[in-house]
Structure 1
Amino acid sequence: MAASASHATYPSLKGRTAFITGGASGIGATFVQAFHDQGAKVAFVDLDEAAGKALSAGLGPTSWFRRCDVTDAEALQAAIADAAAALGPVTVLINNVANDTRQVAAEVTPEAWRKGLAVNLDPAFIAATAVYPMMKAAGGGSIVNISSINALLGPGELPTYSAAKGAINSLSKSLAHAWGPDRVRVNALSPGWVITPRQLELWLTPQAEADWSKLVALKDRIMPDDIARAALFLAADDSRMMTGQNMVVDAGRT
């Protein structure tokens, strides 16, 4: 499938290898499809093996998938190395994987806190350091860390998630300064409330959507494709002088 005529095409993405964490469903699957449609070679990991295999099979030989628990640093590093061996050096990394399960702040145990950071923060750093040597050798690359407006809003039911996303923003800026001399760009991308199947199943009620609508300037739903389009821009050479930034796509909520 070619990129939609109603959206931008980025020639600089054609033939590049993109690696996406949490790519089998939701926003992640939209990232996978969007980069594939731009002519990129796409590798992705996820715990959902059935969904990942089905998505990869539909994309053909320029796609690569492996079931991977991203909280296992060695497994994530190995997946990135093997994907690069199969498709070529990774020059685009989308750190997408996350878990936004609601919590009661006073009841979060030390174990639950650590588990939350292990999926929402740690893989971004592990994956970034794994791809950095490839990007440096290639003369540059783009890392897009998926953050959230909850890093700014800090809702009470998302203490671990919000803390991790705040750290993602700071990490993005730190790595941007560290790796800028090697033309490795690192940006954060902060979505608002994106309507995925998970949101529809668990949290999107008519009342919740009505409340959200009162807080935003644009009243349309934010869809996964809206976030993917922003990620394509940050990955492409069109944004070559952008690094250390936090791009917000939230319909005017913040």
Structure 2
Amino acid sequence: MTATFHDLSGRSVFITGGGSGIGAALTDAFLAQGAQVAFIGRSDASGFAARMQAKHGRTPLFVQGDITDTDRLRAAIAEAAAAHGPVSVLISNAANDMRHSLEDLTPAIWDDLLGINLRAYVFAAQAVAPGMRAAGTGSIVNFSSISYMMGNTGYPAYAAANGGITALSRSLARELGPDGIRVNAVAPGWVMTQKQLDQWATPEDLAAHLDRQCLKRHLVPRDIADAVLFLASDSSRMMTGQCMVVDGGAVHTG
């Protein structure tokens, strides 16, 4: 750990896609802070949950399900609230950056990609808002990406969804702010998860991207988890409606 956020101890945290990639680093990081963590994922993550129990002495609540099934997503959040108390920190992390071209897109593919990359973010926030409103506090962190800021090709639906996530976060920050609920986005750069290394991280592309970054080392999941801990914590209590870029300096905002 690089920092301890004391106010996160005991918090009820819900993470989408919390069993692999960046999501697994988030689950690990929040457990290390003493939070009560629940997460949803499509693949069986019971082995990961067991490893977290061995490491932290607490087992995260794993709910298997597809976040594009809104009823299942709502039920998972309700299950987390029943186990740990009303969700006070929501991390919408799950995404699908499947490569596709404009020519590849069909209405069904578009709907599927927007379902996981944007619609689920809306309904997860809707599900946690009543409990946060009743408590008078809460933090929602939505995962965007620098992909739309860079104007990257190769995934137009994904890029469109990430632009939408940033806009959604700003709109919800305005709507929910009077109830003490903060909503921010985090926009990672190219993070070296196992999926990225296995599928797309060619030596040529890695070198080209590193050349674009100000900091000459590749991002790893923990780099993003540390930023999310800050946004979830009261240490950022007067930050809302913002998009925090964590990308080694590949893009510039402001």
Provide, for residues 22-81 of structure 1, a one-character-per-residue CA deviation record: whole Å limited to 9, x for no partner: 1110000000000000000000000111xx111222333452011111000000000100
Q: What is residue 39 of structure 1 aligned with on the other side?
A: 34
Q: What is residue 53 of structure 1 aligned with on the other side?
A: 46
Q: 1:58 & 1:220 partners in 2: Cα distance?
A: 28
Is residue 144 of structure 2 the alignment partner of residue 151 of structure 1? no
Q: 2:200 & 2:190 partners in 1: Cα distance?
A: 11
Q: What is residue 218 of structure 1 aligned with on the other side?
A: 215
2:103 aligned to which of 80, 103, 106: 106
Letter in 2 for 1:69: D
1:166 partner SS: helix
Give the RMSD, CA atoms, in angstroms.
Answer: 0.9
Q: 1:145 & 1:117 partners in 2: Cα distance?
A: 14
Moved more, 147-156 or 165-174: 147-156
Is residue 176 of structure 2 the alignment partner of residue 179 of structure 1? yes
Letter in 2 for 1:218: L
Is residue 35 of structure 2 the alignment partner of residue 28 of structure 1? no
Q: 2:122 & 2:8 partners in 1: Cα distance?
A: 23
1:143 partner SS: strand
- Aligned sequence identity (%): 51
**Alignment check: 8 A CA contact 1:89 1:135 kept:** yes
Shift of 1:107: 2.1
Q: Structure 2, unaligned stretches of length 5 or more?
A: none
1:221 partner SS: coil
Provide, for residues 107-138 of structure 1, a one-character-per-residue CA deviation record: whole Å limited to 9, x for no partner: 21111111110010011111001001111111
Q: 1:58 & 1:182 partners in 2: Cα distance?
A: 37
Q: Structure 1, unaligned stretches of length 5 or more?
A: none
**Alignment check: 8 A CA contact 2:132 2:138 kept:** yes
**Alignment check: 8 A CA contact 2:138 2:181 kept:** yes
What stretches of structure 1 move > 6 A for 4+ residues in a row? none
Alignment coverage as a number of residue pairs: 247
1:237 aligned to which of 234, 237, 248: 234
Letter in 1 for 2:65: C
